[in-house]
Structure 1
Amino acid sequence: MIEVIHSGSIPDGHFTVSTIMFLISNLLSSQPLVNSLIGLALFWLVKYLFNTIQRIRSLPAGPWGLPIVGYLPFIKDDIYLVFDQLSKKYGPVYSLKLGSFDVVLVCDWPHMKDAVANDALLARQHEVFFPGVVEGRSFAEMSGDPWREHRRLSLHILRDVGLGKSTIETLVKEEVDQFLSALENNGKPADFEKCISRSVTNNVSILLFGHKYERDDPTAIAISSANTEVGRSFSFAGVVAFLPWLAELVFKFELFNVTRLKKCFQIVDTHIQDEIVKHQEKNSQEVVDYIDGYLVEKKNREKQNKVDDNFTIEILRRNAGAFYGAGTETVSSTMEWIMVYLVKYPEYQDKIRSEIADVIGFERKPDYVDRNRMPFTMAFIHEIHRIGSVVANNLLRRAASDTKIGNYNIPKDTLVILNFWSVNRDPKLWPNPDEFDPTRFLTEDGSKVVKPPHLIPFSAGKRNCPGESLANVELFLYLVCMLQKYHVKVKPGTKISTEAIFGLSRRPSQLPTFIFEKISNSN
């Protein structure tokens, strides 16, 4: 064969199509070579089929998909609804192929309870959330010891600067006052979505940077808008999560209008970096906020020669961005659902206001501790969490080793999704689950509120949301302060929709124009 190629039959000059065809023709004329190629192809085919069968047999049963893309083409925007529907056919724990990954869905409470307590399921996928847009990992994207170390440090710093203490509660109250004045808007209808997003952004800024922003500060407005846009672009069913190789091409060649998404990340990143520089210039050991705490820890490590790639300014920037995004998106989305159901069922406003009158009155500001004497108010918030399902399913988890969920095998590197929506709408746990009914969380005489263990709006276990305590304070104070001062209404004949859109969170697809009518103290 080699002699034929070197016989001088190839035309002079560079290779042309005819030259290539000539080479292929000569190669294929060798029967032993053809047999070898066919044998090799059959070997790899058999190996692929064997591995595929082994993989399928090792996983819980589930639907078949297509080559390369798996079940992705059959997934709609409301991915949590598709997951829930499939569980009706394949059972509470099932598997499917999503793009490049084997994925196991957990859709009932007994198995979910087992999963959140399983240390083997604490890892994240190997890819970052937005390949091609951000490269470094925040602690939310880390696995193993780096994640444990950063989470432990983050919680320690945030508690030191006020999280879970009266200090942060006081600051949130001050921010709520500014929020309420924004709602009045000189008698004109206020844009509630923008007002609440900017206000909650301020609360997170206090923890991260040690200060907040004026309502009309252009920086705060830009950050709030950017975070909202990123949150709405975050889809667990998209190429970003399950076809990372395709996502990289999309971002590289700026397809599907990803230029705007990159700009949103840049806005937040640039601002956080500016804050980091200001904190570095202080050169102080005093810890007032999260950036202070991280920089102090970094200096201490450098003094002890503990410098490594898992503790850098880049990671600080990523961590702050993660707190910013998650801390604003979930609370503002939950507040939007609160508004929808307040105007859909105005009688619940009256019940909450009755508790305000009995426990707080209309002169003093509420304290978070007042919740212990306001069972209906807390039941209303719990029911918002359940029916709103702001976090409809968890950020992807990965099995760090072979493990089990109940009696189901979960092979190493399988991705696991906990579909909270399914649990929140399970008729075995909630009678008439599609109905909005706060009384389901009250004792028979209505004197106490009971939060069952299967209501986990901030996830559960070691991967639960580190900002849960702040979110709980915010939701209570925003709701109570608002109803202490206003009747919330809409124009007569306005249709109240409970349809949702889904990105990083599940939020109302459209908000009506809310009217905030001041109430007298005698009410």
Structure 2
Amino acid sequence: MWLLDYFSVPLPFIYLFLSLSIFWCIKYIFKSVKHLCSLPPGPFGFPIFGYYPFLKEHSYIQFDRLSKKYGPVFSLKLGQYDTIVVCDWDNLKDAFANDALLARPAKGFLSGIEETLSVIAMSGDAWREHRRLSLHVLRNVGLGKREMETLISEEIHQFLSSLETNVNDLPQHLMPSVSNNISALLFGRIFDYDDPDKMIIDQSVQGFSESFQFTGITSFLPWLTKPLIALGKANLKIISKTHKHLNNFITKEVLKHQNKANSKEIEDYIDGYLDAQSKRKDDLFNDMILRRNVISFFVAGSETVTSTLTWTLMYLVKYPQYQEKIRSEIQEVIGTEKRPDFSDRLRMPFTQAFLYEVQRIESVVAINLIRRASQDTKIGPYNVPKDSLVFFNFWSVHHEPKLWPNPDKFDPNRFLTDNGTKVIKPPYLVPFSAGKRACPGEGLANVELFLYTVGILQRFKIKSDKPLSFDAKFGLTRRPKYKPDLIFEKISSQY
């Protein structure tokens, strides 16, 4: 029996209902088709989930392959979000200059785990004010100054003695030293390598970096985050746990700074932020955002340099002729007794070229932190609707044959001119992004990469008695999948 038999519904109302339903469906389909036609071409996905179920660990490689099929700028649905991916330099350069592409996803990168946004995840005026304050404070406490270089040099001096035994987990060995450099800016102090609290947060940085991806569930399917944490799936329990360790440590550090007795001296980032916070009458600057900022700076400042240095030392082992060439530059420019200065790089073109090539070929930050279009805009000829998410695929740009002949070959000489006497960094080498949302720590990272590499080669010959794998694992950054087992053979007794 038909359900309508139980009701007395006049036929005109039924016809009206059916007509309206059909009209709504046609309108919805027309609107959806029109919307799809306004986007760059791209692959289809499933309802609700979009293309997300097809994403693999190395999403930047998938994006690169999709660009070969659909064009250098293509679109796909990830969860509920229209997502635009940029894979070539011409359009990427255009996107860098587009102020409509400076926003971040509205819910940040850790939705379901941490709802407070850091300066890295903010948009609009809140981002501008926090960015301005962060750069001001960090510069005042040493970022970009000679004093910071001296501190890094002293840290390296302490670190080198730890390399006189075989190192079978290089990232874990590097992390406590590298993270001390950013610790000096954030906390106003450095830590002993065996400090139990510091060991926990260094391990947390590594655990978070291995497990978290910007193309992960927290960015595109945030409503699944808490159920999957409860089920222990998708590494979300690890991400949540490591984030909690970091937050607990930073909370204690902030409390120590707040309890400083009658001290108004600004010695580090936390001091500077608290000082600015005390002078404002609004809640734009608060303790929760401070903690998130410190966590973001600490993780970014530790992980990217550690991963890049790990790749650098591996390539020095793979190409011993390059290792000797850099050591020859060290001997000629610095010698064996003097500690290296960052200014020495100006007379060491091959060393700089080698570091550039590591950054290019490994592209530690393979894709950018997700952008969001704050209004309807374009990237080149392609439409980008408001609130679309945007990825810049640095991996594609760094492996584009038109820009880099034979891009899969490791060749530092591609950056050298004038018979190897001058090094050139082309604008399409963008390991730290570019434009107004470029990494603010690029200068610090470059100082660290140069001083660590030169300091190590000045004292040690690096080798391995086991084959090295250059397979990568992709989390927050691209890092070696297998931890290299390296031998540091002392060659001099300077310092």
Whole-angstrom CA distance in 1 between matches of 2:232 and 2:115: 16
User: What residue identity is the alignment partner of 1:66?
Assistant: F
Q: Does 1:224 align with 2:202?
A: yes
Within the candidate set 476, 480, 487, 1:515 is matched to 487
Match of 1:447? 421
Match of 2:472? 500
- Measure how far apart 1:233 and its partner are: 1.6
Q: Does 1:199 align with 2:177?
A: yes
Where 1:445 maps in the other structure, the secondary structure is coil
Whole-angstrom CA distance in 1 between matches of 2:340 and 2:235: 45
- Measure how far apart 1:436 and its partner are: 0.1
Whole-angstrom CA distance in 2 between matches of 1:146 and 1:28: 58
Where 2:417 maps in the other structure, the secondary structure is coil
User: What residue identity is the alignment partner of 1:470?
Assistant: L
Provide structure 1 residue ranges, at least 5 long, that are not aligned to the other structure: 1-20
User: What residue identity is the alignment partner of 1:168?
Assistant: M
- Measure how far apart 1:481 and its partner are: 0.3
Match of 2:228? 250
Aligned residues: 493
Whole-angstrom CA distance in 2 between matches of 1:144 and 1:331: 29
Where 1:404 maps in the other structure, the secondary structure is strand
Match of 1:475? 449
Whole-angstrom CA distance in 1 between matches of 2:11 and 2:215: 47
- Measure how far apart 1:252 and its partner are: 5.8
- CA deviation profile, 1:149-178 (whole Å, cap 9, x unmatched): 000110000000000001111111111122
Describe the shift of the 1:454–1:257 C-alpha distance in structure 2 as closer, same or farther (beyond 3 A).
Answer: closer
Asked if the contact 1:132–1:251 (Cα under 8 Å) also holds between the matched residues in 2, the reply is: no
Within the candidate set 328, 331, 348, 2:302 is matched to 328
Whole-angstrom CA distance in 2 between matches of 1:365 and 1:511: 29
Within the candidate set 67, 73, 88, 1:87 is matched to 67
Whole-angstrom CA distance in 1 between matches of 2:223 and 2:23: 27
- Measure how far apart 1:307 and its partner are: 1.3
Match of 1:291? 270
Asked if the contact 2:211–2:235 (Cα under 8 Å) also holds between the matched residues in 1, the reply is: no
- Measure how far apart 1:48 and its partner are: 2.5
Where 1:417 maps in the other structure, the secondary structure is strand
Whole-angstrom CA distance in 2 between matches of 1:356 and 1:348: 12
User: Which structure has the greater CA radius of gyration?
Assistant: 1
Mapping for residues 68-83 of structure 1, pairs under 5 Å: 68-83=48-63
User: What residue identity is the alignment partner of 1:247?
Assistant: T
- Normalization by structure 1: what TM-score? 0.90
Match of 1:61? 41
Q: Does 1:307 align with 2:279?
A: no
Asked if the contact 2:103–2:122 (Cα under 8 Å) also holds between the matched residues in 1, the reply is: yes
Match of 2:237? 259
Match of 2:374? 400
Describe the shift of the 1:335–1:402 C-alpha distance in structure 2 as closer, same or farther (beyond 3 A).
Answer: same
Within the candidate set 425, 434, 452, 1:460 is matched to 434
- Normalization by structure 2: what TM-score? 0.95
Match of 1:240? 218
- Measure how far apart 1:39 and its partner are: 4.4
Deviates more, 1:511-520 or 1:368-377: 511-520
Whole-angstrom CA distance in 2 between matches of 1:346 and 1:28: 89
Whole-angstrom CA distance in 1 between matches of 2:255 and 2:476: 29
User: What residue identity is the alignment partner of 1:292?
Assistant: D
Describe the shift of the 1:291–1:341 C-alpha distance in structure 2 as closer, same or farther (beyond 3 A).
Answer: same
User: What residue identity is the alignment partner of 2:411?
Assistant: D
Whole-angstrom CA distance in 1 between matches of 2:152 and 2:423: 24
Mapping for residues 325-364 of structure 1, pairs under 5 Å: 325-364=299-338
- Measure how far apart 1:24 and its partner are: 8.9
Whole-angstrom CA distance in 1 between matches of 2:200 and 2:453: 26
Where 2:423 maps in the other structure, the secondary structure is coil
Whole-angstrom CA distance in 2 between matches of 1:103 and 1:265: 27
Whole-angstrom CA distance in 2 between matches of 1:205 and 1:363: 28
- Measure how far apart 1:430 and its partner are: 0.5
Where 2:74 maps in the other structure, the secondary structure is strand
Asked if the contact 1:183–1:190 (Cα under 8 Å) also holds between the matched residues in 2, the reply is: no
